[in-house]
Structures are given as structure tokens and as C-alpha cells.
Structure 1
Amino acid sequence: MHKDMHKHLDKVHQIKTEKNMTCNELVNQMDKSGVMGAGTIAKAADIMEHMIKDRKCTVFLGLAGAMVPGGQKQIIIDMLKDGWVDVIVTTGANLTHDLVEALGYHHYQGTHMISDEELNKIRVDRIYDAFMPDKVYEGLEKFCKKTFALMPKEKMNIKEFLWHLGKEVPYENSILKICADKKIPIFCPALSDSGIGLQVWSYMQENKIDVSAFDDLKDMIDITWTSETNGVLYIGGGVPKNYIQQALQFAPTAASYAIQITTDTPESGGSSGAELREGISWGKLDKKAKYVNVTCDATIALPLLSAAIKERLEKYKNQK
């Protein structure tokens, strides 16, 4: 690197906060600093804005973990309602917790500094520092049995199954409900690894219901094949990320936009920590793509990004 490199680089500006500043103004200040975690969040906001504004782009959301107990459900719902996301791939945990809240139950602010033996005695389940009464599964079982009985007897893929499930959700403010109502493709490759999956298995012991995990692959690959441009937003990694990545690998067009928010690191070789640029070697990410890895707790980064993008899109709409 040349000794006069500083002449060709932008300076790191010190972030300045102001009274009554908006989230977008804060993110813009992060952009001026341009480095470390703040810089990546600012870059993610720019990429997300371009991805949403690109009318030719199909946006895939990969949703890992348990974001609903983490307070992120409304952000996901708003993204779906506002048309930011065209396809969602999620863990069964997110859908189970979404359904739990749709049935009138709640998650509670607890603490991780507590005896788990004591929680077990009083039938309270812990998700780090969020609590959920174990009795929710009684309501979940009752709802699922009633809803499964209304479903078609012929074979369904998981997407179709989730749409049928979402139609019967009594509460409008639900990920499952909004996907069913708007016919947003929703995939859950590891559905059996969840509370809903357990309910399906239990129901199958005495009743007829046929849900195929493999038939979704055709629908998923068809979407990537027919999309003119692809963009991805990964909240965490795991199965949702890899499910999208493998579909992109065999599509004629790799992802042109990519954002990953994760706390995992790449050294172990797992999908959750794998850097996005690794996907270039597989043909999953275009070599000219706009992409960024954000190393941050998603419950911090996602609200910041959502608020900033809402403000930007509102200004964009008013300028048109």
C-alpha cells in the first residue's frame, strides 16, 4: 500500500448525536464514520434501500433463531405488509412463537440469571432472558388439532400447509396470517424441528395428513429461476440461509444484493458464520454484487435498519 494512501481514502468522521435526531439520521452518521460495526450497519441500510427500490428484484428473507421472543415479530410483519420481502424462509421456532402470540399468549421479560431447575418446577420455558409459560402448548395443541382436521387430505408441500394454517389464525397481526392472506411464499424446510412440527407428527399418529418437505424445493427453485434479479437478507444463518443459498446456486442469476446479520464467525465452517463473499465461489452471489456482513445481535441491528429504511422510503415516495 502506498505511503500516500490517505490522500485517496475517506476520513473517519466522529459520530455526532443530536437531540430529537431520527434513526435514519443516526445511521447516516454511522455512514460518515464508515468503519467497524457502525459502518456495516450504514452499508446494510444503503443496500437494503436499493434492493427494495429495485422493481426487478425478488427479495428473500432468511429468518433463523427465535426472533419473536426477541421482540422482532412486528418488524417482520411490517416488512411483509409493506412489500419489502417477496419470499420468506424461516425456522419452525419463529412460526411456533408467532402462532403462540396469535392465540393470545405472550412472552415475558425475564432474566438468564435464574435457576432453570426452579423454572422447570413452575413450568416456565426460558429463551435466554425471555420467558414463556409452558401451558401455551396446551392451547397450541387444541388449535392445531382443530385446524389440521380442516386441511385437505391430499399431499401438500410445507408452503401450502403453512398457508392453510395461517388462514385459520384468529389474530390478524401474525406472520403466518399475513403470508396466507397475501399469498407470500413461506418456506420452513425444518418444520419438523419445532413445536408445530411436533403437533403434525402427533396428529399423524391417528389421523390423515400428508405434508411433503421435498415438494417445496421445486417451488423455491422455480422462484429463483424466474427472478430477473435476486436479493437476500439473512437474519442469522442456519437452515433458512442455506435453503436460499442452494436455490441460488442452481439459478441462472446469482444474488445481486446481500445482507447478513449474525454474531457467528466463519472459522468453524458453518453456514451461520460464513462470509457472504464465500458464496461467490459457489455461484450463489454475483461477483459484482452489493453485499455486507453485519456482525451484530439481530435484535439490535434489525430495528435500526427497519426504522431508517421506513424514513427513506417515505421521503422517496413523497419526492415522486
Structure 2
Amino acid sequence: MNVTNFLKHHYRHFNAAALIDAAEGYNKHLAEGGKMMITLAGAMSTAEMGIQLAELIRQDKVQIISCTGANLEEDIFNLVAHDFYERVPNYRDLTAADEQALLERHMNRVTDTCIPEEEAMRRLEHSVLKFWEKADKAGERYFPHEFFYQILKSGELEQYYQIDPKDSWMLAAAEKNLPIICPGWEDSTLGNIFAGHVISGDIKNVHTVRTGIEYMIYLADWYTNQATEESKVGFFQIGGGIAGDFPICVVPMLHQDLQRTSVPLWGYFCQISDSTTSYGSYSGAVPNEKITWGKLGQDTPKFIIESDATIVAPLVFAMVLGQ
């Protein structure tokens, strides 16, 4: 029994049934000529979501990605330093002294996984700084993901690859020159590093890396050109936060601020989340709330799976990939 058949046989109710409905809705949306945006919050790259996401990219089952700066860089951290990562299965039992010991070894913990500073962060900094400086001296400006595409396409990191390259979603995206939106990139390790190099004077122009408002302009142009009544854009949101909240607003912005009323609403919506609405959390809001903001319509297929994205997303993707 393959994954899809197993899920359809056993996942019949509640969140399990919502997973099936969402996956089948994803496939229906694509089959009808639609496009899909996937948004990545949290630490999905460190959770190695790239194993499935890279294949979705290769099979043209995702046309654009929105992600945090952390997810952008952490896929490449994993690509070049995987063998130096350490898993801490008993992370709930760690004492403050245990955490201090990890710090002294330069092991940055993300739940049960420690990212090695020297082999991951500093290794990538060494490469990206050369590209930042080159652009800075030439008076050129690029988005964060474009700098990463330049590095990956240059091949200079290949000597450090420690996973099968086909499991890196950033490599798959670079090969297709996939559009990426990375709002709030400043809130990332390399965003902090870039700020440090500006402060120290290595980078003269802080605008060498293009950022948030320009990403919204970029997305507005992309959406206007790509979304039609015959080929609507769907929205598959993993987690909450800025990775999802930022790009979904492009539609009401186009309608209300630019009067591009012929541009269709998002054509499909699914969110995997365990956020609690009663705390005032937009990330936990039911999809219908988005109708009031002009993001989704009454008839937009809407799904919410209230569960752990690291468990749920690979299963949805397996169904979309026909596995």
C-alpha cells in the first residue's frame, strides 16, 4: 500500500479527514490550471521539509514560495553542514547548564536539533559576503533569495554538500529560478550578519540587499501577471506569522489600493496550524475571517488542519506527488 492509499483508508475523520480534503483540493486546483504559493514559517527547513518540497518544485506543483529568512538560509545550512548537526532527543530535560554547554560549543539549538555555527553559518557567511561586496561595489542591488541563487549557481559551495542535492529545496528553486518572497529577511542570522558588515563598513550601501516593501511590489507584479480567472493562484500556508500574513495581503492591496479589481482572489486556501484563535492570533483565525479582508471569497475552497506541520505537510505533499 502506497502512502496515498494508506491515508485514504485510515484518515477518515477530524484533522485526518481535513488533511485528505486539503490534499485533494490542492490536486484539483492544479488540475484545473491553477498555480500554487507555499509559505514556510517556523523552522521547516531545519525540519528537512526540503525532501518533499524540492520534488514539488521539480514537478511544477508550486510556482512561488514565501518564507522567513530563517527558512531561506537554513536549507542551505543543512545542505553544507548536515554531518555536523546534532540531535538532542531529550531537549525537554536540558538544564540551563546544559544549554550553556551547547552555547560554548557554538551549537545553536532549534528544538531537538543543534545547528553548528562554524560549519553552517560562518561557512555560508564567507561565501555570501563576497557576493554582497561585489554587488555593493558595482552599485547593484538584489533580493536575499537572488544572492543565494547566485551562490548556488556559482558552484562554490558544492565541495561542502553533505546531503543529496535533490533534497535541498533551495537548490531546486535556484535551478528553476523560482520566485521567492522573503518578508522580514532582517530577522534572520544572515540578516543580522549583513547589518554587522554594514556597521563595520565592509558594505557601504545598506540598500545592497533589497527588502520588504520591494518584495511586496515584486509580488504585486507577479500576481497581476500570473493570476487569471482561468489560472488562479492558491495559497498553502505552513504555520503562521509573516511568511503567510505578508503575501496573502497582496490581493486586497491590488483591489483596494490600486483598483486592479479584475485580478481574482486567491483560488484555494489551506493552512496547517495549531495556533489558538481565542488569544487574538491571526495565525489561528479560521479561513472565513479572510473573506472580510478581501483575501478569499465565499466560494474559495478553504481548509485548515490543526496539527503539527512537520507531521502533516509531508503527508499532504505525498498525496500531491502521487506517492
How far the C-alpha of 1:219 sits from its partner, in A, is: 1.5
1:206 and 2:202 correspond:
yes
Paired letter, 1:83? D
1:244 and 2:221 correspond:
no
1:40 and 2:18 correspond:
yes
Distance 1:221 1:54 in 2: 23
User: Which residue among 117, 120, 132 is the counterpart of 1:148?
Assistant: 132
Q: How many residues align?
A: 289
Whose relative contact order is higher, 1 or 2, with alpha carbons under 8 Å and at least 6 apart? 2
How far the C-alpha of 1:296 sits from its partner, in A, is: 1.0
Paired letter, 1:155? R
Distance 1:309 1:223 in 2: 24
Distance 1:305 1:247 in 2: 25
Q: Aligned residue for 2:115?
A: 132
How do 1:99-110 residues align onto structure 2 when only pairs under 5 Å count?
A: 99-106=76-83, 107-110=85-88
Structure with higher Rg: it is 1
Distance 1:81 1:168 in 2: 20
Three-state SS of the structure 1 residue aligned to 2:297 is: strand
Three-state SS of the structure 2 residue aligned to 1:264 is: coil
Q: Aligned residue for 1:273?
A: 284
Is the 1:109–1:129 contact (alpha carbons within 8 Å) kept by the matching residues of 2? yes
1:26 and 2:12 correspond:
no
Paired letter, 2:209? V
Unaligned runs of 5+ in 2: 159-164, 255-262
How far the C-alpha of 1:27 sits from its partner, in A, is: 2.0
Q: Normalising by structure 1, report the TM-score.
A: 0.83
Is the 2:184–2:242 contact (alpha carbons within 8 Å) kept by the matching residues of 1? yes
Unaligned runs of 5+ in 1: 1-20, 313-320
Paired letter, 1:188? C
User: Which residue among 166, 173, 187 is the counterpart of 1:179?
Assistant: 173
Distance 2:113 2:103 in 1: 14
Distance 2:218 2:72 in 1: 20
Paired letter, 1:137? M
How do 1:1-320 residues align onto structure 2 when only pairs under 5 Å count?
A: 21-30=1-10, 33=12, 35-55=13-33, 57-106=34-83, 107-111=85-89, 112=91, 113-114=93-94, 115-135=98-118, 136-151=120-135, 153-168=139-154, 170-171=157-158, 172-173=165-166, 174-204=168-198, 205-209=201-205, 210-213=208-211, 214-226=213-225, 227-228=227-228, 229-251=232-254, 252-311=263-322
Is the 2:131–2:147 contact (alpha carbons within 8 Å) kept by the matching residues of 1? no
Is the 1:162–1:186 contact (alpha carbons within 8 Å) kept by the matching residues of 2? no
User: Structure 2 vs 1, CA of residues 70 and 159 (structure 1 numbering), >3 Å: closer, same or farther?
Assistant: closer
Paired letter, 1:142? H
How far the C-alpha of 1:309 sits from its partner, in A, is: 2.1
Three-state SS of the structure 1 residue aligned to 2:62 is: coil
Deviating runs (4+, > 4 A) in structure 1?
none
**Which digits, 9 at most, give the CA deviation of each residue in 1:36-91, with x for residues without a partner?**
11111111111111122232x22111111111221212212111111111111101
Is the 2:46–2:78 contact (alpha carbons within 8 Å) kept by the matching residues of 1? no
- Higher share of residues assigned helix: 2
Distance 2:221 2:49 in 1: 29
Distance 2:117 2:141 in 1: 32
How far the C-alpha of 1:129 sits from its partner, in A, is: 0.9
Paired letter, 2:142? M
Distance 1:145 1:231 in 2: 35
Paired letter, 2:128? C
Three-state SS of the structure 2 residue aligned to 1:302 is: helix
Distance 1:297 1:163 in 2: 30
- Higher share of residues assigned strand: 1
**Which digits, 9 at most, give the CA deviation of each residue in 1:267-299, with x for residues without a partner?**
222232122221111110121011110011111
Is the 1:77–1:178 contact (alpha carbons within 8 Å) kept by the matching residues of 2? yes
Is the 1:241–1:271 contact (alpha carbons within 8 Å) kept by the matching residues of 2? no
Distance 1:253 1:225 in 2: 9
- Tell me which moved more, 127-136 or 142-151: 142-151
Q: Aligned residue for 2:258?
A: none
Distance 1:277 1:30 in 2: 28
Distance 2:170 2:75 in 1: 7
Distance 1:110 1:84 in 2: 34
Q: Normalising by structure 2, report the TM-score.
A: 0.82
